[in-house]
Amino acid sequence: MSLLETIQQKSIAFVEDTIKLRRHLHANPELSYKEFETAKFVAENLKAFGLKPQEGVAETGLVVLIEGKNPSAKTVALRADMDALPIEEKNNIPYKSKNAGVMHACGHDVHTSSLLSTTRILNDIKDQFEGTIKLLFQPGEEKNPGGASYMIRDGALENPKPASIIGQHVMPLIPVGKIGFREGMYMASSDEIYLKVIGKGGHGATPELTIDPIVIASHIIIGLQQVISRNASPKQPTVLTFGKINGDGATNIIPNEVNIAGTFRALNEEWRENGLKKIIQMATGIAEAMGGKCEIELSRGYPYLENNPEVTRRIRKAAEQYVGKENIVDLDISMGSEDFAYYSQVIPASFYRLGTRNESKGITSYIHTPTFDIDEDALKLSPGLMAWMAINELTIK
Ligand SMILES: [Zn+2]
Ligand SMILES: [Zn+2]
């Protein structure tokens, strides 16, 4: 039997266990940076495979090595994220979240359980490959500054340093059984913008005695859209969305201040910096011109995600061998963001998508919604596919 067939068979043979792992994680979700029980569970399982994980990396993250023959020949890294979201689950399933208001609505339970089974497969066949595979179980993907940045800070990409890193993410728009790839620019940088527009409140009937922050805020919101239409290059995908505006006055009360919150997304680090500068300049300028003030706070999010073309081509080829060419799909640019981007700034990286949709089973909800779920058939292939990709990467000189 070929190594590919061995891996495929193991992935299928372990599927009941992978599902069990996934359902345990799904029922017991934990928020970003609070993945204490999750980390314990992952550590227990790794130890049960006979491995010695390094615990406490980025506080609630883990790193484990699988050494093949000649372990110093080359190292390749695989990554899963482990955190859940502050969403109340609306699915009626036996493994529904037991933690009120917390839900694995982004599939990180899928990534973690898959990578556990990947680890098991690789450990079983470690005498059949050369080099080392480093597995990263990271916390805090969903919350700034991103668990990946802490993993890097704590040395997850050193000793041994991986030549490349691969990440997997569920995709409810892609049918189960299919895998999506994209070379180059893939996901956006994401920064949060908080504007406090300060005026001078008063009676709604005497606007001449006030500085109306509601009107100033309205001008700012409209004005800032021109940063996108006039300052961003038309060739440069970019988004500015304000999803929250709060001016606590009344029909006859002009409030003292208005708070606005939004997100700015870009696919180019230079434009990201310039865009943010323009936003600050315009918001403060408009407020001052109208007699008020605008205070701005930025919460810097993840950089944009660049899929290294060579790594992406190689893992795509590995996936073609694994699932057949007809099951490979091309991904479009996404304005979503992912902290896997931090790894892509340090070493060649590629982030691909695992199809989890199944309309015939009614599984169509998007990630970050209270009814998100996956077709668990995806778990038949996800562990083996990652193992196969990693082993392929190890063979590249
Ligand atoms: Zn998410
Ligand atoms: Zn996610």
pLDDT digits (tens, 9 = 90+) for 10-41: 999 999 999 999 999 999 999 999 999 999 99
pLDDT at 99: 98
Give yes or no: 130 in active site.
no
Sorted by sequence, the CB contacts under 8 Å of residue 302 that are 6+ apart come out as 144, 146, 148, 189, 190, 337, 338, 339, 341, 342
Cβ-based neighbour number of residue 225 at 10 Å: 12
Give the integer Cα–Cα distance in Å for 34 and 25: 14
pLDDT at 313: 98
Q: What is the pTM of this model?
A: 0.92
Q: Are 84 and 25 in contact (CB under 8 A)?
A: no
Give residue 188's pLDDT band: very low, low, confident or very high (50, 70, 90).
Answer: very high
Give residue 397's pLDDT band: very low, low, confident or very high (50, 70, 90).
Answer: confident
pLDDT at 186: 97
The alpha carbon of 336 and the centre of ligand 2 are apart by a number of angstroms equal to 10
Give yes or no: 141 in active site.
yes
In this structure, which amino acid lies at residue 229?
S
pLDDT at 248: 94
Q: Six-digit token pair at 230?
A: 């006039």
Question: What is the average pLDDT value for the chain, to the nearest integer?
Answer: 97
Which residue among the candidates 35, 81, 89, 141 is catalytic per the annotation?
141
Q: Ligand nearest 369 Cα, by number?
A: 1
The alpha carbon of 259 and the centre of ligand 2 are apart by a number of angstroms equal to 28
The alpha carbon of 69 and the centre of ligand 1 are apart by a number of angstroms equal to 37
Which residue among the candidates 30, 67, 81, 83 is catalytic per the annotation?
83
Q: Ligand nearest 351 Cα, by number?
A: 2
pLDDT at 307: 98
pLDDT at 322: 98
- 285-289 average pLDDT score: 98
Q: Ligand nearest 340 Cα, by number?
A: 2
Q: Ligand nearest 169 Cα, by number?
A: 2
- Classify strands 75-81 and 293-299 as parallel, antiparallel or unpaired: unpaired
The alpha carbon of 106 and the centre of ligand 1 are apart by a number of angstroms equal to 5
The alpha carbon of 367 and the centre of ligand 1 are apart by a number of angstroms equal to 7
The alpha carbon of 68 and the centre of ligand 2 are apart by a number of angstroms equal to 30
The alpha carbon of 388 and the centre of ligand 2 are apart by a number of angstroms equal to 22
- Classify strands 257-266 and 238-247 as parallel, antiparallel or unpaired: antiparallel
The separation between CA 249 and the C-alpha centre of its own chain, rounded to angstroms, equals: 38
pLDDT at 311: 98
SS3 150: helix
pLDDT at 226: 97
- 96-110 average pLDDT score: 98
Q: Six-digit token pair at 139?
A: 């916390």
Q: Are 169 and 114 in contact (CB under 8 A)?
A: no
- 232-255 average pLDDT score: 96
Q: Six-digit token pair at 288?
A: 């001052």
Question: Does the pLDDT value for residue 241 go beyond 90?
Answer: yes
For residue 102, give the nearest of 43, 35, 151 by alpha carbon: 35
- 176-188 average pLDDT score: 97
- 373-397 average pLDDT score: 97
Give the integer Cα–Cα distance in Å for 108 and 115: 10
